[in-house]
């Protein structure tokens, strides 16, 4: 059982958190006309990107650890509560259709469970043992990377999850908006875009949430690039599960190879909708089975597979 003291570490210290403080420049916010208020809020949002920029070295470190997890059979696991938890679920859920990954490769745990995605279950974040239990149930191991998302940097549920993950040898990352904070004491890597007081004091679904979404985009997208899920800036591993994605797979195949719409459609059909495989077939002239073997030999990296084939032709 974790030793996190909710009373001491969460409620008593809220006034010390920058995300809970009030911006005196916005004290008359409710008396300002709409357009002026929008300009003020937009100006606050612009500063979020700069806060994230300062954390790029730490983000790069986390990406390298995530990729290492993928290559050693591990996973990326997000853990959060409230807005932070929902953002983790959002990012994880978008990886399979975008990058063709197994749903278990990137997963998310939110305090309060599935119901917390659709309605606030605020008390769930106060239970550190709930975080421990969730990670035990997820069978977290030393091969995984666990990212705890908490604007305050001290959500007990997230603390419990990271504490347990660290104990089993997993790489632990804290994504927070306050420093110093409790989570950074147990995290291997801390990513802390400090966005300052919220426009509505304490409403961390605003700037803090925007910062977290930006960081999660950077983490998952770059990890997928380095795991061979793109070719250039094209999502060649897109999973064509609906008409929009089928059209995207066909367009990507045409863009890379320069073939006609009919030729791309035929290659995709032979490749069971796999754009990466269809491109390799069209670019090399190999049968589908041999092209698939070539991709496997190159760990799914399309560029490497094409380069290997070109070297083989040149050598011959």
DSSP secondary structure letters along the chain: -----HIIIIITTGGG-GGGS--GGGTTGGGS-HHHHHHHHHHHHHHHHHHHHTTHHHHHHHHHHHHHHHHTT--EEEEESHHHHHHHHHHHHHHHHHH---TTTEEEEETT-GGGGTS--GGGGG-HHHHHHHHHHTT--TT-EEEEEESSS--HHHHHHHHHHHHTT-EEEEEESSSS-SGGGT-SEEE-----S-SSTT-TTTHHHHHHHHHHHHHHHHHHHHTT--BTTB-TT----SHHHHHHHHHHHHHHH---HHHHHHHHHHTTT-HHHHHHHHHH---HHHHHHHHHHTTT-HHHHHHHHHHHHHH-
Q: CATH number for the 243-315 domain, one of 1.10.8.1080, 1.10.287.3510, 2.60.40.10, 3.40.50.10540?
A: 1.10.8.1080
Q: What is the pLDDT of residue 122?
A: 67
- Among candidate residues 94, 133, 263, 270, the one labeled active-site is 94
Q: What is the pLDDT of residue 288?
A: 96
Residue 234 dihedral angles phi and psi, to the nearest 5°:
-105, 135
CATH 3.40.50.10490-classified regions of the chain: 6-226
Partners of 135 in the β-ladder: none
Q: What is the pLDDT along the chain (316 residues), one digit of tens a residue?
A: 455 454 445 444 655 788 777 788 788 888 999 999 999 999 999 999 999 999 999 999 999 999 999 999 999 999 999 999 999 999 999 999 999 999 999 999 999 888 778 877 666 777 889 999 999 999 999 999 999 999 999 999 999 999 999 999 999 999 999 999 999 999 999 999 999 888 888 788 899 999 999 999 999 999 999 999 999 999 999 887 788 889 999 999 999 999 999 999 999 999 999 999 999 999 999 999 999 999 999 999 999 999 999 888 876 5
Q: What is the pLDDT of residue 232?
A: 93
125: annotated active-site residue: yes
* Dist. CA 231–CA 65, nearest whole Å: 22
Q: What is the pLDDT of residue 13?
A: 60
Angle of helix 34-53 versus helix 207-226 axis, rounded to 10: 40
* Dist. CA 264–CA 230, nearest whole Å: 18
Three-class secondary structure assignment of 38-70: HHHHHHHHHHHHHHHHCCHHHHHHHHHHHHHHH
Q: What is the pLDDT of residue 117?
A: 81
28: annotated active-site residue: no
Contact criterion met (CB below 8 Å) for 83 and 116: no
- Among candidate residues 20, 44, 55, 125, the one labeled active-site is 125
* Dist. CA 95–CA 88, nearest whole Å: 11
CATH architecture, range 6-226 = 3-Layer(aba) Sandwich (3.40)
CATH 1.10.8.1080-classified regions of the chain: 243-315
pTM: 0.89
């Amino acid at each position: 059982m974790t030793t996190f003291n909710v009373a001491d570490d969460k409620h008593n210290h809220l006034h010390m958190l920058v995300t809970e403080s009030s911006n005196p420049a916005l004290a008359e916010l409710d008396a300002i006309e709409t357009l002026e208020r929008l300009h003020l809020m937009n100006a606050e949002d612009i500063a979020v990107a700069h806060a994230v920029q300062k954390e790029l070295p730490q983000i790069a470190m986390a990406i390298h650890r995530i990729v290492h997890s993928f290559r050693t059979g591990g996973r990326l696991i997000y853990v959060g509560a409230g807005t932070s938890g929902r953002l983790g679920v959002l990012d994880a859920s978008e990886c399979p259709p975008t990058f063709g990954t197994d749903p278990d490769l990137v997963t998310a745990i939110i305090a309060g469970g599935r119901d917390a995605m659709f309605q606030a279950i605020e008390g769930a974040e106060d239970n550190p043992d709930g975080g421990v239990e969730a990670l035990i149930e997820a069978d977290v191991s030393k091969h995984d990377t666990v990212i705890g998302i908490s604007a305050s940097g001290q959500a007990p549920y997230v603390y419990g999850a990271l504490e347990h993950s660290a104990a089993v040898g997993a790489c632990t990352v804290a994504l927070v908006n306050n420093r110093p904070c409790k989570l950074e004491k147990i995290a291997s890597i801390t990513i802390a875009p400090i966005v300052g007081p919220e426009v509505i004091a304490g409403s961390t679904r605003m700037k803090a949430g925007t910062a977290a979404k930006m960081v999660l985009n950077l983490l998952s997208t770059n990890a997928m690039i380095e795991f061979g899920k793109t070719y250039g800036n094209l999502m060649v591993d897109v999973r064509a599960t609906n008409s929009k994605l089928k059209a995207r797979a066909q367009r990507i195949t045409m863009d890379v190879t320069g073939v006609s719409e009919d030729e791309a459609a035929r290659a995709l059909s032979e490749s069971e909708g796999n754009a990466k495989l269809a491109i390799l077939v069209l670019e090399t002239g190999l049968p589908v089975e041999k092209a698939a073997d070539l991709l496997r030999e190159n760990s799914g990296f399309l560029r490497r597979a094409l380069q290997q084939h070109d070297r083989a032709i040149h050598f011959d």
